[in-house]
């Protein structure tokens, strides 16, 4: 009887797991974005002080649970050694200039793309109105049928973090047949 109740309990609380790749140039704010997202969506998570965040060596991994979805974030650069991980990715967050390389990679065909115009808290930064035409000129022909969004954020202040994460979750709902989840109990 315990096994039956335990199995039912696990089934009811299971989460579908999706991998989200965060890419961008050095000092684009990838780790700060991940820390800000974890702080906003993970109960009792205090987060790192932004002044203590340094250059990422290798990769950072973070996890956020939203309802029945678990997002596993991989914060890494575009180093050739790490590109072998790309075929396991369900969704991509990129900080502007990496978009072309990402969407032209055959392992990522159809994978939704969230392009973040970060550092909106800085007075003279490029806004979405400046970023979007550049992105469209260089990458629109590669988008195909994937979901794609260009969004303003400030990883430092947290502005735009909620909207981006919620957009990802909505994409998960629309794209489960293309990139199915891994059930946590199957791993």
30 annotated among ligand-binding-site residues: yes
The predicted-structure confidence for 41-56, as pLDDT tens digits, reads as follows 999 998 888 888 888 7
120 annotated among ligand-binding-site residues: yes
96 annotated among ligand-binding-site residues: no
Q: What is the pTM of this model?
A: 0.80
Q: How many helices (H) and strands (E) does the chain have?
A: 5, 7
Q: What is the DSSP string of 15-45?
A: -EEEEEEEEESTTSSHHHHHHHHHHHHSTT-
Q: Which residue has the tokens 């109740």?
A: 5
CA angle 93, 75, 57 (to 5 degrees): 145
Q: Which of 62, 65, 87 is nearest to 76 (CA)?
A: 62
88 annotated among ligand-binding-site residues: no
Q: Which residue has the tokens 């469209």?
A: 136
56 annotated among ligand-binding-site residues: yes
Sign of the torsion angle spanned by Cα atoms 48, 98, 140, 181? negative
State residue 99's pLDDT score.
64
- In this prediction, residues 33-44 reach a mean pLDDT of 93
Q: For the chain, which domains are there?
A: 15-175 (3.40.50.300)
CB-count burial class (<10 Å; 0-12, 13-18, 19+) for 123: exposed
The predicted-structure confidence for 77-115, as pLDDT tens digits, reads as follows 556 666 666 666 666 666 655 566 677 777 777 788 888
Q: Which residue has the tokens 């490029």?
A: 126
187 annotated among ligand-binding-site residues: no
24 annotated among ligand-binding-site residues: yes
């Amino acid at each position: 009887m315990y096994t039956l109740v335990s199995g039912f309990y696990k089934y009811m609380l299971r989460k579908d797991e999706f991998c989200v790749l965060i890419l961008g140039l050095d000092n684009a704010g990838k780790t700060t974005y991940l820390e800000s997202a974890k702080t906003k969506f993970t109960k009792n998570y205090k987060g790192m002080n932004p002044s203590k965040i340094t250059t990422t060596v290798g990769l950072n991994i973070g996890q956020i649970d939203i309802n029945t979805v678990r997002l596993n974030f991989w914060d890494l650069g575009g180093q050739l050694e790490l590109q072998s991980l790309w075929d396991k990715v369900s969704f991509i967050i990129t900080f502007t200039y990496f978009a072309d390389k990402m969407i032209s990679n055959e392992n990522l065909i159809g994978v939704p793309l969230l392009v973040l115009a970060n550092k909106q808290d800085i007075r003279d930064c490029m806004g979405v109105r400046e970023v979007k035409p550049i992105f469209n000129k260089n990458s629109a022909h590669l988008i195909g049928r994937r979901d794609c969004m260009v969004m303003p954020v400030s990883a430092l202040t947290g502005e735009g973090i909620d909207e981006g994460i919620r957009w990802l979750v909505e994409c998960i709902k629309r794209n489960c047949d293309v990139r199915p989840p891994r059930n946590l109990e199957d791993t």
